[in-house]
A = this chain, B = another copy of it.
Amino acid sequence: MAPARSGNTVFRAIADPTRRAILDRLRAGPVNAGALAADFRQSRPAISKHVRVLKEARLVTETRLGRERLYAIDPVPLQNVAGWLEGYRSFWQTSLDRLKRNLEGT
């Protein structure tokens, strides 16, 4: 497999619905691993591995507090995705315009 350019890890990280849900959960504020896992139906190790992927993508930061670990969101790498999307914004604009024109009979 390719060396996983840092850009790609973000796209890969958000590809999984559980990981997106974790990010959504972290938007409400930092939580420790146990509380986070409790919000999901998967096992704690499963969530732990998802968190690891998110950490590798720099989307989640970890703060150790005694035996606990607090996870918090870092949305900055998402700008990568936003940037990529920018290149398509004009396209879907014109797609919508075209649709609108068609609906209006030109």
Seen from chain A, the residues whose Cβ lies within 8 Å of a Cβ on chain B are 2, 5, 8, 11-12, 14-15, 17, 20, 23-24, 27, 73-76, 78-79, 81-82, 84-85, 87-89, 91-92, 95-96
Contacts and interface: CB of A to CB of B under 8 A. Distances in A.
Nearest to A17: B8
What is the copy number of this chain in the assembly?
2
A78 B82 CA distance: 11
A95 B76 CA distance: 7
B74 A78 contact: no
B74 A95 contact: yes
A14 B82 CA distance: 13
Most buried by B among A20, A23, A82: A82
